[in-house]
Amino acid sequence: MKLHFKAISWGLSSVHLALAIALPAYAQSIVPSHDGTGTIVTPDGNRYDISGGQLSEDGRNLFQSFHEFGLQRGEVANFLSNPTIDNILGRVTGGNASYIDGLIQVSGGNSNLFLINPAGVIFGANASLNVPADFITTTATSIGFDSNTWLNSTGENNWSALVGTPNSFDFAVANPGAIVNEGTLTVTEGRTLGLIGGTIVNTGALQATGGNIRLFSVPGERLVRLSKPGYVLNLEVRNGTTGAPSTPTPLALPQLLTGNSTIANASQITVNPDGTVSLRGSGLQIDSSSGTTLMSGTADVSGTNGNAASIHILGDRVGLFGARLDASGTSGGGNIFIGGDLQGTGSLPTASRTYVDTQTSIFADALQSGNGGRAIVWADDSTRFYGTISARGGSAGGNGGFVEVSGKNWLDYQGSVDTFAPNGMLGTLLLDPTNIVVVADDAATSDLTTVDAFDDPDTDTDNSQTRINVAAIDNATANVTLQATNNITFGTPIEIFASGIGLSATAGNDIAANSSITTNGGGVTFDAGNNISIATGADITTAGGGVNFSADNNITSNGTISTVGGGVTLRANYDSSGSGRLSIGGSIITGGGSLNLSGTGNDGLAGIVVQSPLSTGGGNATFTGTGNVGRGIDLQGSLSTGGGTVNLTGTSTSAAGIWIGSSLSSGGGTMTLNGTSNGTGESARGIAISGTGALLSGGGGVNLTGSGSQAGISILSGGSIASGTGNLSLTSENNAIRNSGSISTSGTGNLSLRANSIAHSGSIATGTGNLTLTADSIALLGNVSGTGRLLLQPKTDIALGLGGTGDAQTVFLTGSELSHLMDGFSNITIGREDGSSNITFLGGATFSDPVTVRTLGAIDTGGFTLNGQDNASLTFNAGTNLLGSSLFYSRGQTINLKAGGNILVGAIDAGEGGSIILNATDGTVRIVSKLPPSASLYSDNISLRGSSVTISHTTGITFTRGDATTNGVLGEIASPVATANGVNLIPQGRPAPTQTPTPSPDPTSGDGTTNPGDGTTGDGTTNPGDGTTGDGTTNPGDGTTGDG
């Protein structure tokens, strides 16, 4: 569990803490206890051989008991062991602290050594170790084993029952004894060195190459659990009793240093009357009560494999003064924990206050290869950090490490962190208090070096905000992460000098950038639980780094964002829990990087509103906006992507899904817009392009898909959509497309409009590509032009009315509307290729381009004249009957009438040089002037000058070669003078006969035979009486026929 203590004022500055312990002039004996343990101490010169003792039942644990235990300089305490003994546990029961200024060693085996003295332990300047395994000194009142048995530090024990591995330390007193080290304590490579007591002070050297160093101060009445591998520490509130007898009250650190008249005061430390200790010459007062760990000296676990090495400096109050901690490794950095684990999580006990002075250096480097290590400096309340930390990646390869310097409630950061990687990715620095304000450098840092200069960030009046000097970020050599429980505010410009260093900020509430942020290739990432705001003038420039903003609520960006190749992602309403509007009032320039925007509006506001120019320079742009009442995407500022693609998806409950109020352009990338409005009012349009809006594509395709009750797609007057060589497609499957502006393609791209209805009053123009208009209702009130193929077709299989007026269910195009089809199309096709409904002409029509009218149903030309001018040929393909007595006329072009049933039409004139093809694939061909046909009626004429007539039907009777003026019914084929009936073959250069349109014939009349006057014909040959024909052709000029 975490510990919480009353705040204590430290007021620390740079010092070097060194204890100079003076031992008594006389030798302190190692005296065994006469408690039945059987410990034997045998002096041999300056060496004390320690034997005897008690064994656990399995013989793995050896227990020794001392009344007094101490060493003078040059003396040796030699614990005798054998290869079968795993652990030697020596307890001191006399109630006096142990003063050790000599050598402690283990011989005869590879046993771990535990030295237990609840009264306290001091290692003098000459203290040292020669042990083959772990060495742990503690002032615990009892030690537990993984067999759930306990060794009492005083009194009796059931020695044989104490089997297993020591893993728990019980501190059953209110103020446990202190441990002080001024010596050089070293354990074998890969092993653990631990000091666990009420107060821990180290001014000496601690070394465990490739192993673990544990300094842990424990407040009273706590239980420490120690678990392998790596001896992970866990602190618990003591519950109940372990059965240990009461022990004498140990001395606190001041009394430990002064309470024995034979021990002189430390040369660099003074005990103050109030019980604190002071570093002589500094005026600094330090609370040294239980739970305090003071580290001044070295702790070194560096070695070949740093990944397995670790240093723990733990306690309720942790202070480092002129300390050097090193967990570097040849193939990777190790782990260093000061005051707790990452963000105070995990099983490690946490400090309430942590202090690191300017003279402290911490290393977790990968020296040759591998990744840098992990260094954590933490406190639940406040952390003051003025030192340096290095967690560099290996010189031959590997990434930088991870460093956190954080105080949960308050942080004073004036140190420096280096996670550089010469051949890998930079590491990370995390700063993590409750609130953060980045402030300008000031005079408070004038006495600090420019490399390590970090201002003392004062706090606001309620001490709730941590103020971090901007120099801490500007000079960083690690990716900087600011993390706050509440708010983060950037109140002064940031300029990170080192290449590739990024800045990340994560806040539980708001992030506000009120000043500019500049990086040299590093990214900028903001993640807010509420809002993100970028003030006007607070420009963000990354020189290649990406910019990523995510907010659970709104994002407002009024500064310029420039990345020069880095991607930009702004995501409001990131948690999708409600609304979060994205408002862009400043320019965004990515220089080739992608641009991704998303937002959800509420209370009538747009999901995404853009009011300044956006440019990607070749990067792709993807917007997703949702408006509740307001627009989904409101593009009032321009968007230019160069060759990048554009993907916009906008949805609104009432207004336009996508509103284009400025230019949206792409040089070569495709543009895809999907807009949906679920409203019913006037503004319910899927995609709306205003009078100032324009979609421009150089070579990529443009695809618009819209849905809205007023219009799926609406181009207002002045608005435009233009594509060069790419295809342009507008689709509104269930709604209208309304165009009062301009829609065009200028190159080879095809243009397609598909909707329930198309209302066009502006201009539609294509280059050489094809144009397709597909709708059940097409209103052409503006010009339509192009040089490619034009296809006019219904969206569904409905009956069409052309050229006049009729009821709303059948009128497709009136004559006036057809007049807006400009000359120049290579072909105009009307009707669906797969449609089976009828097409009826309700008025005359004139075409300037080749025209094809098609349906699988019938075509009725009515009694109207269909004119073709310029190069207009006329082709009619009817799946059943082709009916009408209208005049088909073209100027020297082909008239091709084809029907699956009968062809029953009036006069036909193909003009000079034109051709006529009549093909009834499953019926007859009849050219009539009026109905009903009878013996007294005459047929109408087929006229052409200088070309051929081809007439086909299915009766199978061939035409006989001969004189056309005498073979067949009188006058049916006449040449060279035009007659009142028959086929008129007029020499080139002579005018066509005048024809008068006649009423539409009844397709049910007649019997398919040809009598004088009814003009029923075959396919170019005519036999008397029955009108059946073969498949011959009529040659121009002389009336002769081809083969029958």
Kindly indicate the confidence band of residue 274, based on its pLDDT and cuts at 50, 70 and 90.
Answer: low
- 70-129 tens-digit pLDDT: 999 999 999 999 999 999 999 999 999 999 999 999 999 999 999 999 999 999 999 999
- 131-181 tens-digit pLDDT: 999 999 999 999 999 889 999 999 899 999 999 999 999 999 989 999 999
pLDDT of the residue at 621: 97
Amino acid at the residue 731: T
Pairing state between β 103-107 and 150-152? unpaired
pLDDT of the residue at 885: 59
pLDDT of the residue at 943: 61
CA atoms within 13 A on the CB side of 504: 16
**Residues 400, 406, 408, 409, Cα dihedral to 10°:** -150
pLDDT of the residue at 465: 73
Report the alpha-carbon distance of residue 715 to residue 327 in Å, rounded: 67
For range 47-72, the mean pLDDT: 97
Residues 6+ away with beta carbon under 8 Å from 597: 569, 570, 571, 582, 584, 608, 610, 621, 622, 623, 624, 625
- 902-938 tens-digit pLDDT: 888 877 777 777 788 888 888 888 776 544 443 333 3
pLDDT of the residue at 934: 39
Residue 767 has pLDDT above 80, yes or no: yes
In the chain, where are the structural domains located? 858-1044
Residue 1 has pLDDT above 50, yes or no: no
Report the alpha-carbon distance of residue 491 to residue 436 in Å, rounded: 10
Kindly indicate the confidence band of residue 852, based on its pLDDT and cuts at 50, 70 and 90.
Answer: very high
- Kindly tell me the burial class for residue 49, based on how many C-beta atoms sit within 10 Å of its own C-beta (0-12, 13-18, 19 or more): middle
For range 453-467, the mean pLDDT: 48
Report the alpha-carbon distance of residue 233 to residue 239 in Å, rounded: 18
pLDDT of the residue at 944: 53
Angle at 8 between CA 3 and CA 12, to 5 degrees: 115
For range 190-202, the mean pLDDT: 94
pLDDT of the residue at 511: 98
pLDDT of the residue at 243: 52
Report the alpha-carbon distance of residue 886 to residue 866 in Å, rounded: 7
pLDDT of the residue at 975: 39
pLDDT of the residue at 449: 28
Calculate the average pLDDT of the chain. 81
Residue 801 has pLDDT above 50, yes or no: yes
Q: Indicate the helix (H) or strand (E) that contains 926.
A: strand 925-927
Q: Indicate the helix (H) or strand (E) that contains 255.
A: helix 253-258
Give the closest residue to 653 by CA, choosing from 688, 582, 704, 604: 604
For range 677-690, the mean pLDDT: 93
Sign of the alpha-carbon dihedral angle for 1028, 1031, 1032, 1033:
positive
pLDDT of the residue at 807: 52
Longest distance between any two alpha carbons in the chain, whole Å = 158
**pLDDT above 70 as % of the chain:** 77
For range 985-990, the mean pLDDT: 41
pLDDT of the residue at 952: 67
Residue 1040 has pLDDT above 90, yes or no: no
Cis before residue 932, ω within 30 degrees of 0? yes
Kindly indicate the confidence band of residue 738, based on its pLDDT and cuts at 50, 70 and 90.
Answer: very high
Amino acid at the residue 76: V
Kindly indicate the confidence band of residue 810, based on its pLDDT and cuts at 50, 70 and 90.
Answer: low
- Check: CB of residue 651 under 8 Å from CB of residue 657: yes
Report the alpha-carbon distance of residue 168 to residue 242 in Å, rounded: 11
Residue 273 has pLDDT above 80, yes or no: no
- 495-535 tens-digit pLDDT: 999 999 999 999 999 999 999 999 999 999 999 999 999 99
Residue 330 has pLDDT above 80, yes or no: yes
Q: Indicate the helix (H) or strand (E) that contains 254.
A: helix 253-258
pLDDT of the residue at 753: 96
pLDDT of the residue at 811: 56
Residue 419 has pLDDT above 60, yes or no: yes
Residue 945 has pLDDT above 60, yes or no: no
- 609-620 tens-digit pLDDT: 999 999 999 999
pLDDT of the residue at 237: 58
